[in-house]
Structure 1
Amino acid sequence: MKLNDPKAMRALAHPLRLDLLEVLSMVESATAAWCGRALGVPQANCSFHLRQLGKYGFVEEAEPGEDRRERRWRLVEGSREMRVDVAGADTAAAEAIGRRLERTVVEREMAAILRYAERRSEESPQWRGKAGVVSALAVVSADDMPEIERKWQELLRPYLARAEARGEPGVEVGDAAAGGASSERRLVRYFMAATPVGALDGMTGDPVEGVPEGASEGQGGESAAASAAPQAYMTGGDSDGHDR
């Protein structure tokens, strides 16, 4: 689903509403009370925000359960994958709302990453050694960027399907609070952002100016500037699960 409608984007620009969509993506349907227990927030709050999500077509009422007095909610199918189309906004106000939603999404993901960093020592060695954060500078063209995103989505798609199939036969997910062995399946957050780097102040002239003679030469006579490559940075564990 591509989002460029200002009212729909404004409806999503709330952390709890994003939390509700995430919770509903992992169950067939749920009541506001169940969502409240899952997220640790009052039922009344969940009920209000679910109605707002329903108003703008992100969720819909499902078939009632045993207690017909309680509404059950489920995701509208297109809500499983959404893209905020800020570039496609037709007015400055719509673009501002789109940027507000983008900021809400990024802040929510950053908060989740920092929460993990705080409790990392509580994880079992098997999981602690494999989780982490990766950051890198790459040289790409504007046309490369959608292709990189597509490949990333394709890589994750089979695992996203597991999350959607939680509770079905053969698709068991371990208790996140229990730690568990590395062979157990758990919910894991992934977040990707592609942000072109702007011009950096002071990055003009010879980058090795003032270096003593000979110090700028790399192997094969290459200058330090020519032989340098964008670096990748990773925290957490390596591919073998060893802590870095």
Structure 2
Amino acid sequence: MRITDPTAIRALAHPLRLDLLELLATSSPATAAQCGRVLGVSQASCSFHLRQLAKYGFVEDAGPGRDRRERQWRLPDPRPTLRLSAADSPVVRRQIERMVVEREMQAILAFIDSDDDESTAWRRGAGLTTALALLSAEEAEQLKTQWLALLEPYLARSESTVDARRPGRRFARFFLSATPLPTEAADE
């Protein structure tokens, strides 16, 4: 999915809309009522925001629900991604990147601050890893490609209805960021 329209970006800027996209990525199709129960917000609010997302093609109608009275929603692509090219507006690129980073940081901080009953195994397996690596821009791109290749079997598994809900499995966020440290020289 390639987004360049600033209005479409604003459609993504609402936190509930991002929550809805994430929820539909893990349990689609779903009605506004189901989304509201999971997210702890009103059905009316979910319905409004789902319609706004549909207006820009982020979600689509998946037909009536089980009771035939409610509309179900789904993602048009089971693995939605936002792709930006070098030709895209720097303002658009910054807005999308900022939105993604802020959302991931909120999720990371919520996990750190949670005092729920997460199992020891999840606490040990999840969490943070930081490192400083000496590499070129090309090597950073290669590392990102390798990282995505490493995740690929797990991403494909999440699309499989057979594997998705086996006991002990949960959806987990992964976030990679390579940010070069400042140097004396402007361009190295």
- The TM-score normalised by the length of structure 1 is 0.67
Q: What is the letter of the counterpart of residue 89 of structure 1?
A: D
Aligned to 1:164: 159
Q: How does 1:75-224 map to 2 (within 5 A)?
A: 75-77=75-77, 80-83=80-83, 85=84, 87-90=86-89, 95-119=90-114, 122-165=117-160, 168-174=161-167, 184-199=168-183
Deviation string, structure 1 residues 212-241 (Cα, Å, up to 9, x no partner) = xxxxxxxxxxxxxxxxxxxxxxxxxxxxxx
CA distance in 2, matches of 1:152, 1:112: 20
**Separation in 2 of the partners of 1:117 and 1:37?**
24
| Cα deviation code 1:167-223 (max 9, x no counterpart) | x3354344xxxxxxxxx22222211112222237xxxxxxxxxxxxxxxxxxxxxxx
For residue 121 of structure 1, report the CA deviation from its aligned partner.
Answer: 7.2
Query: 1:11 and 2:7 equivalent?
Result: no
Which protein has the larger Cα radius of gyration, Structure 1 or Structure 2?
1
C-alpha RMSD of matched pairs (Å): 2.3
1:130 is displaced (CA, Å) by 2.2
Q: Deviations over 1:93-116 (max 9, x none)?
A: xx3343233222211111111111
Contact 2:25 2:75 in 1 (8 A): yes
Whose relative contact order is higher, 1 or 2, with alpha carbons under 8 Å and at least 6 apart? 1
Question: Residue in 1 aligned with 2:20?
Answer: 20
Q: Which has the higher helix share?
A: 2
Instruction: Look up the match of 1:233.
Output: none
**Percent identity between the aligned chains?**
52
Q: 1:148 to 1:159 in 2, by over 3 A?
A: same
Query: Any stretches of 5+ residues in structure 1 without a counterpart?
Result: 175-183, 201-244
Shift of 1:86: 7.1
1:49 matched to 2:30: no
TM-score when normalising by structure 2? 0.84
What's the counterpart of residue 239 of structure 1? none
Aligned residues: 184
SS of residue in 2 equivalent to 1:48: helix
Structure 2: segments with no counterpart, 5+ residues: none
Post-superposition offset of 1:55: 0.8
Counterpart-to-counterpart distance in 1, 2:75 and 2:49: 13
